Chain A
């Protein structure tokens, strides 16, 4: 599937995060969680933010809704522009008008994200009455329609049921219906299929792909699963220990990964193959440093085979290596500029 087919003729930037700084403030001291997170999201695009636990991807997503738990999290710098407006400068009241309306979120564990004592229908009606000023009966009708849209069988009956009466897959569908209720510009999906079985995961991924066509929402997919990324994303941002290390189109990322961490990640995933060639998995030595224990310079340096003094001293910046590819790595940047010089001489 060619992603450009999915994108409208002139994709506009709906979200621009630049140099976002978030730190945890605890009695043990102050530790940076996000250290200069930057990316853009265009309309109709699926952008995947990938990284292992502790890289800051979830805090980054929660910050978009200004829902990062505070304390300990505090946004200390940068901007988050939603259609040009910096949401970090908004009042709490203005922010409430954005949550669930312009930016909606679906979570990994629908059982904890849904309110157990309210019916599914009630929970979908709530944002419709709040943001769209629908009356109760019109909102209820719309809720049933939304449940039908996410392919829940017997939506009229299901709307009156409670979360515990639904299976895991149905709950995730209900949460997607709720998120789509107000026609958001951006759907933030934090590990939406991680808690699901593989056949149910396939159903939900297909549903999300269908809905993207029909509703045209931009999707920000937060995940650790590179296979899910390969199947659904147009563009990928790879994070490591609070920073973006690589930002590329999905094809470039999988076919020509440049950052040593991205390469290591791709070499670590077992690939299902019908040819029965069992590849040796490489893995990456060591483990992700904890927040508060991150090294200076490039945070990946202690696990990197290419690391040298420069890497341990200064933080590499995100450099453009091709129109749709950016990397933050001293070794890659040096290699690219050397190549350019050689080409200039020739």
Chain B
């Protein structure tokens, strides 16, 4: 990935904040859910970044903001250098071709009244890509690309198995030749034997087309398998981000450590029935003061309750936001040798 480091990232998200209003009450001030609370990261060309975290951490909202299915409250989302965070629908259209999405539930995300050919053909028409006889050839080529065939052209979604439907969803995303595919849990509804097929397909397509993936997932074993870098989210913030090997081998943030310790291993000789974390994720309507993780953190001290930790670099390309771990961070003491996308905008908003 060294050559990719020098070119600007395909996707650069800076200080993204998404707030949803909560139902107004007559006597209370209007409350907001801070679904995403100052998130910054980038995705390079040909790279897979996994966004992981438990339900309610805001990972899906980040994905939906990038698709502009959700309008960010503030912050920027730059695609090839252009900020799409506040573009109008019309202005957005050319960028829709660059970013496509694959959804979790292949049953719910395909129109049951359209044939496979129509499903894949629709984006080709919307973006004026091919017409006439070429169109059908292109559709067949796409079907074959994802491991289906021309015999599937006139079939309806209900005639496909779950794995085949997910292949269809991938073919639809590929139709417009995107640079980035946002996958929101694209594997979690699939059976394991089929999940492995789709992992291999995504891997193959990435190599062939130099695609970038933003992979939103909760299954860390899958994430380790498919991603180059991993960002760990907790209550609307990124608490740690780095190369996959670094995150899994030497996680820094106590939350990342707990998350990894909680993953059951498929080996009866390595039993570790432990409770890595007590309690549950607090409500994002009233997140805890300071570091949002402090009520569940074994290392928490006074400062964690008062002050939100800044993201800092612990190793080259490995960032985390933790007061306690930062004290022993030797890397931070060194003068910064390199401008880094994340370091540049690594501040965490205190709103």
The answer to whether A and B assemble together is yes
Q: Which of A274-292 contact B (CB under 8 A)?
A: 274, 276, 278-285, 287-288
Q: Are B224 and A269 in contact (CB under 8 A)?
A: no
Q: What's the Cα separation between A227 and B244 when bound, in Å?
A: 21
Q: Tell me which residues across on chain B come within 8 A of A288, comparing CB atoms.
A: 161, 191
Q: Which of A205-227 contact B (CB under 8 A)?
A: 205-206, 209, 224-227
B21 close to A (CB within 8 Å):
no
Q: What's the Cα separation between A273 and B192 when bound, in Å?
A: 18
A266 close to B (CB within 8 Å):
yes
Q: What's the Cα separation between A230 and B194 when bound, in Å?
A: 20
Residue on A with the closest CB to B191? A52
Task: Say which one of B32-40, B258-266, B310-318, B337-345 lies at the interface with A.
Answer: B258-266
Residue on A with the closest CB to B270? A230
A39 close to B (CB within 8 Å):
no
Task: Say which one of A70-78, A94-102, A130-138, A194-202 lies at the interface with B.
Answer: A194-202
Q: Are A224 and B266 in contact (CB under 8 A)?
A: no
Shortest A152–chain B CB gap in Å is: 12
Q: Are B265 and A202 in contact (CB under 8 A)?
A: no
Q: A199-B259, A272-B260 are in contact. Are A278 and B266 (CB under 8 A)?
A: no
Partner of A273, one of B193, B224, B274: B224
Digitize A250-286: 1 where CB-to-B-CB distance is under 8 Å, 0 elsewhere: 1100100000000011111111111010111111110
Q: What's the Cα separation between A87 and B161 when bound, in Å?
A: 36
Task: Say which one of B94-102, B130-138, B196-204 lies at the interface with A.
Answer: B196-204
Q: Are A230 and B265 in contact (CB under 8 A)?
A: yes
Q: In this complex, which of B192, B196, B219, B276 has the most chain A Cβ atoms within 10 angstroms of its Cβ?
A: B192
Q: Tell me which residues across on chain B come within 8 A of A199, comparing CB atoms.
A: 54, 258-259, 262, 276-277
Q: A231-B271, A278-B225 are in contact. Are A265 and B193 (CB under 8 A)?
A: yes
Q: What's the Cα separation between A217 and B194 when bound, in Å?
A: 34
Q: A199-B262, A206-B275, A230-B265 are in contact. Are A272 and B193 (CB under 8 A)?
A: no
Q: Are B225 and A281 in contact (CB under 8 A)?
A: yes
Residue on B with the closest CB to A201? B262
Q: What's the Cα separation between A334 and B302 when bound, in Å?
A: 68
Digitize A87-107: 1 where CB-to-B-CB distance is under 8 Å, 0 elsewhere: 000000000000000000000
Shortest B47–chain A CB gap in Å is: 15
4 other A-B residue contacts (CB within 8 Å) besides A52-B193, A227-B221: A206-B274, A265-B193, A270-B224, A279-B225
A-B contact pairs, 25 of them (CB 8 A): A1-B271, A53-B162, A167-B280, A168-B55, A168-B280, A197-B54, A197-B281, A198-B262, A199-B258, A199-B259, A199-B277, A201-B262, A202-B261, A227-B263, A251-B268, A269-B196, A270-B196, A270-B199, A270-B219, A270-B225, A278-B224, A278-B225, A281-B196, A287-B162, A287-B163
| A residues with CB within 8 A of B | 1, 52-53, 167-170, 197-203, 205-206, 209, 224-233, 250-251, 254, 264-274, 276, 278-285, 287-288
